Amino acid sequence: EAGVAQSPRYKIIEKRQSVAFWCNPISGHATLYWYQQILGQGPKLLIQFQNNGVVDDSQLPKDRFSAERLKGVDSTLKIQPAKLEDSAVYLCASRRQGLGPYEQYFGPGTRLTVT
Amino acid sequence: AQSVSQHNHHVILSEAASLELGCNYSYGGTVNLFWYVQYPGQHLQLLLKYFSGDPLVKGIKGFEAEFIKSKFSFNLRKPSVQWSDTAEYFCAANTGNQFYFGTGTSLTVIP
C-alpha cells in the first residue's frame, strides 16, 4: 500500500512570497488533515477535510492560508503572503472514514523556511 | 476543548535503561489513544494504539502502553531502550474524526 505523498520536501522562500504544498493521501482514505509542526512542538491542526468538504478549519489563518481538496483525493495548501513565523514542517495525514479507532497515516512533510 | 499533556519534554537514557513517558488527556468520554514516533529525518509513524479491551497494549519494537481510565493517562513504556530508540514521541487522543497531539518528548539514548 502506497503511503501519503507530499511535495516538495523542502522549500525556502522570502517573506511576502507565496508557496503551495501538495498532498496525495492513501487511496480510499476519505479524511485528510494538514498540520503545522514548529520545531520542538507537536503537530497543530490547520484544516481537516472529509472527502472534499471542510470539517474543521478553526485554526487556519485564513487571511494568508488556504487549502482545497477539489475532487476529494489530493489536496493543496497555500500560504500567501508568507511570514517568518510560518517556518515549520507542514504535515499531511490521511485516515479511513468512520468513527473506529483508525490511526492517521502521515506523509514525510514539507519543511518550509521563510527568510 | 480536549487536550493532551506530555510532561517529559526531554529524556536522556543510557542503553538498557527502562523508559516511561507520561501522557495525560482531558476528555471524559470515549477516546482512542495513540503513541506515534518520529525518528530523525523520518515521518511520524504509529507505535501503538488503544481503543478498548485490555488496557495494556503492545506495539512495535518492544513498546507498550497502559491505559488508566481513572487517571486519564496512557503512559508509554519500554523495559530496555536501545540507541535506535532515539526519536520524538507523541501521544495523541482521538474522538470522532478529531485528533489532539501532545507537544512531544524528545528521547536520546546514549550508547
Each residue of A13-58: pLDDT tens digit? 999 999 999 999 999 999 999 999 998 888 999 999 999 899 999 9
Which domain, by its residues, includes B94?
4-110
Determine contact: A99 vs chain B, CB below 8 A: yes
Using a pLDDT cut of 90, give the percent of chain A over it: 83
Q: What separation, in Å, do the N-terminal and C-terminal C-alpha atoms of chain B show?
A: 41
Higher-scoring residue by pLDDT: B27, B16: B16
Residue B96's pLDDT is 78
Burial grade of A61 (CB within 10 A; 0-12, 13-18, 19 or more): middle
> How confident is the model at residue B59, as a pLDDT?
94
Structurally, how many domains does chain B consist of?
1
Cross-chain CB nearest to B49 (options A50, A55, A101)? A101
Q: Is B72 on the interface with A (CB under 8 A)?
A: no
For residue B1, the model assigns a pLDDT of 65
In this predicted structure, what is the pLDDT of residue A1? 63
- Residue numbers of A between 55 and 74 with CB closer than 8 Å to B: 55-56
Partner-chain contact B102 A42, CB within 8 Å: yes
pLDDT of residue A2: 78
Which three-class secondary structure string do you get for chain B? CCCEECCCCEEEEECCCCEEECCEECCCCCCEEEEEEECCCCCCEEEEEECCCCCEEECHHHCEEEEEHHHCEEEEEECCCCHHHCEEEEEEEEECCEEEECCCEEEEEEC
Instruction: Assign residue B82 the CATH number of its domain.
Output: 2.60.40.10
Q: Which residue has the higher pLDDT, A2 or A53?
A: A53
Q: Which CATH class is domain A15-98?
A: mainly beta
B32-87 pLDDT tens trace: 999 999 998 888 999 999 998 999 999 999 999 999 999 999 999 999 999 999 99
Closest residue in B to A34 (Cα–Cα): B99
Q: What is the pLDDT of residue B29?
A: 81
pLDDT at A16: 97
For chain A, domain boundaries: 15-98
Return the residue in B9, B31, B43 with the most chain A beta carbons within 10 A, the one to mutate for interface testing.
B43
Task: Indicate which of B88, B101, B103, B106 best probes the interface with A, i.e. most A CBs within 10 Å of its own CB.
Answer: B101
Average pLDDT over residues B13-29: 93
| Mean of pLDDT over chain A | 93
For the ranges A78-87, B26-35, B89-98, the one whose mean pLDDT is highest: A78-87
